[in-house]
Amino acid sequence: MSESPALPVILDRASPTPLAVQLAEELRAAAGDGRLRSGDRLPSTRALAVQLNVSRTVTAAAYEQLHAEGWITGKHGSGTYVTTAPPGSPRARPRVVPTGADEGSAVDLRPGSPWVEGIDRSAWRRAWRGAADAGPMSRPVRAGLAGYRAVIAEHLLRHRGLRVNEALDGFADGEGESVLATSGTTAAVTELAAAVLKRGDVVAVEEPGYQRAVDTMRAAGLRVLPAPVDADGLLPGAVPAGTKVVYCSPAHQYPLGRRMSAARRVELVARARREGWLVIEDDYDGELRYDVAPLPLLAALAPDVVVHLGTTSKILTPALGIGWMVAPPPIIAAVLAYRDATGTSPAAAGQLVLVELARNGDLGRHLRRLRRELSDRRTLLVDALIQADIPYLGDDAGAHLVIPVPTAEAERTLITDGHTHGILLDGLARHHAARPTWFGVALGYAACSRTQLTTTIPSLLSLLARATSHDGQSSTTNHSARSAGGSASAAERIPRKRNRPEDTGR
Ligand SMILES: Cc1ncc(COP(=O)(O)O)c(C=O)c1O
């Protein structure tokens, strides 16, 4: 049993409703919406009367009423406690999920969450214990811990083919680093907006694209303009005039899942140099790639104009709150000056844990297992889609692929039907900064369990078959990167949305 939390009870003395009735209603509401929980101890009628500046008759009458209704219980002298809401009361009903499924038991196929189930718990514990051995630090390290930056330099070299300044020692904090610790991608975008850009600066963002970055930049006063993508990635020629920054996700375009072609990468950075753009390369799941050759990072092609952002959100957990930034020296200096001025730094705990995971060899083991597991899951899904003749794209990398559907209505119906069948789906429409032009679902296959994925596939396929057949086109010609040997060309054979009026009416 716990003492009740301080309750914001508001009584309206000018109201014709008696104070005791108002008080009972306030407490009933608090018990109904969870501010008061079963077992919470309420103040005595005397204490509550003093607190609310009312007579004790008011509080006693309110308690008596709630007692009669079954909301509270208690014997004279031993305290008054909240019970569970009485059966049949409207407030006693659980939160209604607007579907046939309850969110807790539904299979979550929305992209976003990583395969945390696969993190070896003893390795995890070992890393946290090792991190604790580092002992308390007397001050934060603005650039991130040297050991962490060394691990990231090694990670980038081994897994992303990017060589960054390895002379991490020997530089005073803030001088000469080309890799910084961050608190994750979104936090890094906030820092760049504050440290490097001015309010009103134009940022071109892939459309559809990563709306959390869009919202972050808008909140910082930047002007976000959509830049269309095609099968090869963001179209440099369509970047709006006056753009200062281009934000893109070349390794696995979010949310469509395509990879930016090598030629497009070269064209983008050449144009960035000519036009004076800074390019932000969001490499959120670049470590995950299947059956295709690696492509050069934008940061490797043009370290002078690219800010590369990485994160552990997809390979471990976003709850660790760590990432990294590789950027030209003036940007690094501006971010460090901003951290200094605002007294902010990425927290050390997550960095220490990653260092320990790397030192024990557990990071490498985890990445190998993660790739194997996600590769198997992707094969499971892709084989089923091919068999059912359902077109898809974006399966070369990452932990999600995309099923386009012809209209906004088809997307909405698919998501609602998914809910009814206990499958949580994420629509493409919400990933647009302007009027939606792509409809469909992004299917994430990391967050659920393998068993859930396997058992859900049959109902998923029948929902997808219904949704994708709405456009009247046969879905017989167009499968995947896998069956066709190249995502860009295969993606072009995906039946595209039609620009009917209802397509853009979201
Ligand atoms: C496109 C994209 N970028 C970056 C991230 C990671 O962001 P953070 O490091 O802030 O968790 C995500 C995570 O969902 C993402 O989808």
pLDDT at 47: 87
Q: What is the pLDDT of residue 166?
A: 57
Q: Does 491 lie in the same domain as 441?
A: yes
Residues 95 and 161 in one domain: no
Question: What's the DSSP call for residue 238?
Answer: G
Check pocket membership of 255 for ligand 1, CB cut-off 6 A.
Answer: no
Indicate if the pLDDT at residue 452 is higher than 80. yes
Q: Please identify, among 65, 99, 133, the residue that sits at the C-terminal boundary of a domain.
A: 99
Judge if 376 and 498 occupy the same domain.
yes
pLDDT number for residue 272: 98
Ligand 1 centre to CA of 247 (Å) is 13
What's the confidence (pLDDT) of residue 241? 93
pLDDT tens digits along 356-367:
999 999 999 999
Task: Look up the pTM and report it.
Answer: 0.78
Point out which residues pair with 72 in neighbouring strands: 82
Judge contact between 396 and 291, C-beta under 8 A.
yes
Whether 193 shows a pLDDT value over 90: the answer reads yes
CA of 309 to the centre of ligand 1 (A): 10
Does 418 sit in the ligand 1 pocket, CB within 6 Å? no
Q: Using the 8-state DSSP alphabet, how is residue 97 labeled?
A: P
CATH code for the domain of 303: 3.40.640.10
| pLDDT band of 104, cuts 50, 70, 90 | low
Atom 7 (ligand 1) nearest CA: 185
Q: Can you name the residues that pair with 234 across neighbouring β-strands? A: 229
Give percent above pLDDT 70 in the chain: 84
491 pLDDT more than 50: no
Tokens matching residue 463: 């929902």
- Considering the domain architecture, whether residues 178 and 317 belong to the same structural domain is answered as yes
Q: Give the neighbor-by-neighbor strand order of the sheet with 323-326.
A: 179-182, 323-326, 306-311, 278-282, 243-248, 202-207, 223-230, 233-234
Assess if residue 272 is contained within a domain.
yes
List the Cα angle 253/255/258 in 5-degree steps: 35
Q: What is the mean pLDDT of the chain?
A: 87
Q: End-to-end CA distance of the chain: give it in Å, rounded.
A: 48
Classify strands 223-230 and 202-207 as parallel, antiparallel or unpaired.
Answer: parallel
- Tell me how crowded residue 64 is: count the other CB atoms within 10 A of its CB: 14
Atom of ligand 1 nearest to the CA of 318: 11
pLDDT digits (tens, 9 = 90+) for 11-44: 888 888 889 989 988 888 877 777 777 778 888 8
> Residue 184 region, left (φ>0) first, then alpha (ψ -120 to 50), else beta?
left
Instruction: State the closest ligand 1 atom to the C-alpha of 249, by its place in the atom list counted from 1.
Output: 1
In this prediction, residue 354 carries a pLDDT of 98
Residue 330 has pLDDT above 80, yes or no: yes
Residue where a domain stops, chosen among 333, 360, 387: 360
Token pair belonging to 427: 């629509």
Tell how far the Cα of 265 is from the centroid of ligand 1, in angstroms: 21
pLDDT score at 75:
61
Mind listing the pLDDT tens digit for each residue in 334-348? 999 999 999 999 999
> What is residue 494's predicted lDDT score, i.e. its pLDDT?
46
**Are 165 and 264 members of one domain?**
yes
> Does residue 54 lie within any of the structural domains?
yes
Mean pLDDT, residues 439-448: 98
Same domain, 178 and 326: yes
Q: Does residue 108 sit within a domain?
A: no
User: Same domain for 353 and 373?
Assistant: no
Q: Which atom of ligand 1 is nearest to the CA of 209?
A: 1
Lowest mean pLDDT among 75-84, 143-152, 194-203, 448-457: 75-84
Q: Are residues 304 and 265 in the same domain?
A: yes
Lowest mean pLDDT across 132-146, 365-379, 432-446, 492-506: 492-506
Structure tokens at 340: 């200094």
Name the band, by pLDDT with cuts 50, 70 and 90, for residue 72. confident
What span, in angstroms and rounded, lies between the C-alpha atoms of 59 and 80? Answer: 12
Residue 456 pLDDT > 70, yes or no?
A: yes
Clarify whether residues 32 and 125 are in a common domain: no
318 CB less than 6 Å from ligand 1?
Answer: yes
Q: Is the CB of 247 under 6 A from ligand 1?
A: no
- Residues 396 and 431 reside in one and the same domain: yes
Instruction: Assess whether the C-beta atom of 312 lies below 6 angstroms from ligand 1.
Output: no
Q: Which of 99, 129, 155 is the last residue of a domain?
A: 99
401: containing domain: 364-504
Span 273-322, pLDDT tens digits: 999 999 999 999 999 999 999 999 999 999 999 999 999 999 999 999 99
The string of pLDDT tens digits covering residues 194-230 is 999 999 999 999 999 999 999 999 999 999 999 999 9
Is 307 in a helix, a strand, or coil? strand
> Would you say 301 and 281 are in contact if contact means Cβ atoms under 8 Å apart?
no
- Cβ 296 under 6 angstroms from ligand 1: no
Does ligand 1 lie within 6 Å of residue 346's CB atom? Answer: no
- The answer to whether residue 433 sits within a structural domain is yes
pLDDT of residue 502: 31
Q: For the chain, what percentages of helix, strand and coil (3-state, to nearest 5) are there?
A: 45, 15, 45
CB 254 near ligand 1, within 6 Å = yes
Q: Which amino acid is at 307?
A: V
Residue whose CA lies nearest to ligand 1 atom number 16? 112
C-alpha–C-alpha distance, residues 159 and 300, integer Å = 13
